[in-house]
Amino acid sequence: MNYSKINIITSAYSQPETSILIIYTGGTLGMVHDEKGALVPFDFSSILNHVPSLRRLELNLTVISFEEPIDSSNIGPDDWVKIGQIIFENYNDFHGFVVLHGTDTMAFTASALSFMLENLGKPVIFTGAQLPISSLRSDARENLITALEIASSKSGTQPLVPEVCIYFDYVLLRGNRSKKVQSLHFDAFESENYPVMAESGVVINYNTSAIYQIEDNKPLVLHSKFDRRVVILKLYPGITQEAVEAILHIEGLRGVVLETFGSGNAPTSEWFIGLVKEAVSKGIIILNVSQCPGGRVIQGRYDTSQQLNELGVIEGADLTLEAAITKLMMVLGEEDDVVEIKKRLIQPICGELTLN
């Protein structure tokens, strides 16, 4: 893999006991203005010049930076695997990890990493910024400093937050429960169906009951197979037979995340039901999630979802779209048996959905 590795000396007088690996993939946080006023990635070896208060954290920091930082709109499964491999290869050398990532697809990447890192027992904290670190009013400094503090926090000898999370604008959210909801304000992320895991103010208040508890110390396992032969089909009033047909008849299609209305409702027109039935009969996996950011799918609650239930469409419970598509891609990458695929999709891997 092509990346550069930099050790950051935060203290000239002592060797900190806690080591954190920062992984910079790209995004607004790591941008500065060049002499022409254009935004360019900055050299992380000079991070203390931009955030001198990092010295007060008393942490041993190492930065791994993608050789070519990526706008998060261009990040996909290959990049998820790259991030996962970096964490896997460095897992035993660090107490925690902070991933700097563009905000646009951060929730997708955080969801994917949560599924990839089986038996994770250390913090993997995603963060970024709405304004570059060089901007006077940037949110980058607080997001970075607090993400590092959370990644290094312990309860006794154990990490306090041993899971994949997003820290942004004073709140810590479970990664696979998060969704970007703002492009103009600093409070860019929300988690409608799961409690905030921590809030940062004068102190960081942890909601320990919402944090995943490690049951045993099994070795970390990296899952790195993703099947991209999936689509998202978002329903809307007036959707045509031709549009649905074009999507469900894509050659080689294996999976569909069906974004339905309300608690999982869809049209009951004969042509729509017929196309769904045909797709399921061909072994295409259809996972039903709600377009609503809060609540859950309950197939059969209304007549408009009962037929989906009868056809074998999978009830996606309270999965976010981001968690649904990344989980579907990973499960399809590892399984061919339809029964096993359905079984894995409805069972939580790492807190991404709530069982009835």
- Which sequence positions are flagged as catalytic? 28, 103
Given a contact cutoff of 8 angstroms between Cβ atoms, the answer to whether 291 and 324 are in contact is no
Binding-site residue positions for substrate? 72, 103-104
Cα–Cα dist 121/158, whole Å: 9
Q: How many residues does the chain have?
A: 356
Q: Which two tokens stand for residue 77?
A: 């499964």
The CA distance from 23 to 330, in Å, is 22
Diameter of the chain by CA atoms? Answer: 74
Hey, CA dihedral for 244, 292, 104, 213, is it positive or negative?
A: negative
Distance of CA 69 to the CA centre of its chain: 18
- The SS3 call for residue 33 is strand
**3-state DSSP call for residue 190?**
strand
Residues in the annotated binding site: 72, 103-104
Distance in angstroms (rounded) separating the CA atoms of residues 279 and 268: 16
Spatial neighbors of 238 by CB under 8 A, at least 6 apart, are: none
Distance separating alpha carbons of residues 99 and 151, to the nearest angstrom:
10
Answer for the pair 319, 353: CB distance below 8 angstroms, yes or no: yes
